[in-house]
Amino acid sequence: MSTKLKSRSDGTDVSSEAGLLAISAPTADTWQSLYNLYWVLAVAAGTITIGALVFFATKFRARPGSGPAQHGEDGKIPIRTVLIIVIVMASVLAGAGYASFHAIGVYNNPPNGWNDPNALHVNVTGQRFSWSFNCTSGCGVPAILTVPHNKIVILNITSIDVFHSFGIPDLRVKADAIPGKYNLIWFQVSTTGTFPILCYELCGAGHAFMRAKLVVT
């Protein structure tokens, strides 16, 4: 799939039109499907619950002229209703959880493993306030990471000062950049284009300006 992407004024490309993803990357695809599933479930659950609330509040509206209502005694414990709610919720959540675990499997398992000799291994270092990229094959100048399309890219992310977070929103990948720790992520993009890289954890006055670019050739 190689759709022509629209460009933005800052040199990056629009990766999504009207909420649909125009690029193709396993991580992004997986994430998007999971996200859509959760939206469907959430809208359904929300509509039912809020609908019930609005329905009850209007249907059982006090009629004008009726006297003050009495509270009455507590009824029997509605075990059946409670159990139904619990079981329904547990089942839906179990399904959602299962889908999530399946999705994380994609994130945790690059196609040929983390030591793939054919992948592009990049060391990413966050600092206040820029991202720098380092790999044996010369893939980046400061703030720009250039990778070939269809290539598996494995990033080893850390920080040399404070807690940052490295994210490429269009590819739906992100990992925290923590001093002393190394977090691995992978991605593979089948479309060419330029995509923003941003910092997702407050790191000081320059947090908003800690931007980089991913160029896929």
Partner 1 sequence: MWGRARFHESKARGHLGGWSLNTGWLKRWLFTTNHKEVGILYLVTSFYFAFLAGILAFLMRTQLAFPSETFLQPPQYNEAVTMHGLIMVLWFLSPLGIAFANYFVPLQIGAADVAFARLNATSYWMYVFSGITAFASFFVPGGSPASGWTNYSPLTSLQFSPGSGETLGAAALIVLAASNTVGTVNILVTILWHRARGVSFVKLPMFTMFTFWTMLQFLWAFPSLIAGLIMLEADRLLGTSFFTSSAGGSILWDHVWWFFGHPEVYIVLLPAFGIVAGIIATFSGRPVYARKPLFAAVGIVVLLSYMVYGHHMFLTGISLTEREVFTINTEMISIPFGVLMLSFIGTMYKGAVKLTTPMLFALGSVVIFVIGGLSGVFNSSLALDIALRGTYFVVAHFHYVMVGASEFGLFAGIYYWLPKMTGRMYNETLGKTHFILSFVGFNLIFFPMFFLEDMPRRIVTYLASTGWGPANFVATVGAFIFIPSQLLLVYNMGMTLRGPRAPMNPWNSTDREWVSGPSMPHPVGASSHGIGNGLGNGVSHATSESAHEASPLSTRPIILCLGFAVSMAGLAFGLPVIIIGLVILAGGVFGWAWDDYRGRFRLPEEEEGERWPFSKVPKDKLAMWTFLGSEAVLFGVLLGSYAFIRVNFPYWPTPGVLHDINFGTIDTLIVITSSLTAYLGLQSIKTGNRRGLIGWLGATLLLGIISLGVKGTEWYGLITNLVPGSPIGLPVSSYLVMTGIHGAHVLAGLLIMIYLMIRAATGGFSAEHYGSVENFNLYWSFVNCVWLVVFPLFYLL
Q: How far is CA 124 from each of CA 113, 121, 129, 156, 181, rounded to the nearest angstrom?
A: 19, 10, 13, 6, 12
Binding-residue total with partner 1 (CB under 8 A): 83
| Site track for partner 1 across 2-21, x = CB under 8 A | ------xxx-x-x-------
Candidate list 1, 18, 20, 70; residue touching partner 1; CB under 8 A: 70
Name which of residues 166 to 205 contact partner 1 (CB under 8 A).
Answer: 167, 169-170, 172-176, 178-183, 196, 198-205
Between strands 144-147 and 212-216, the pairing is parallel
Residue placing its CB nearer to partner 1 in the complex, 77 or 138: 77
Candidate list 2, 4, 40, 86; residue touching partner 1; CB under 8 A: 86
CB-count exposure of residue 96 (10 Å: 0-12, 13-18, 19+): middle
User: At a CB cut-off of 8 Å and minimum separation 6, what does 26 contact?
Assistant: 106, 187, 188
Identify which of 155, 162, 153, 160 has the alpha carbon closest to the alpha carbon of residue 125: 160
Shortest Å distance, C-beta 80 to partner 1: 11
Piece in contact with partner 1 (CB under 8 A), picked from 54-62, 117-125, 130-138, 145-153: 54-62
| Site track for partner 1 across 121-150, x = CB under 8 A | -------x----------------------
Contact yes or no for 27/106 (Cβ under 8 A): yes
| 117 binds partner 1 per the rule CB under 8 A | no
Phi, psi of 11 (to 5 degrees): 95, -5
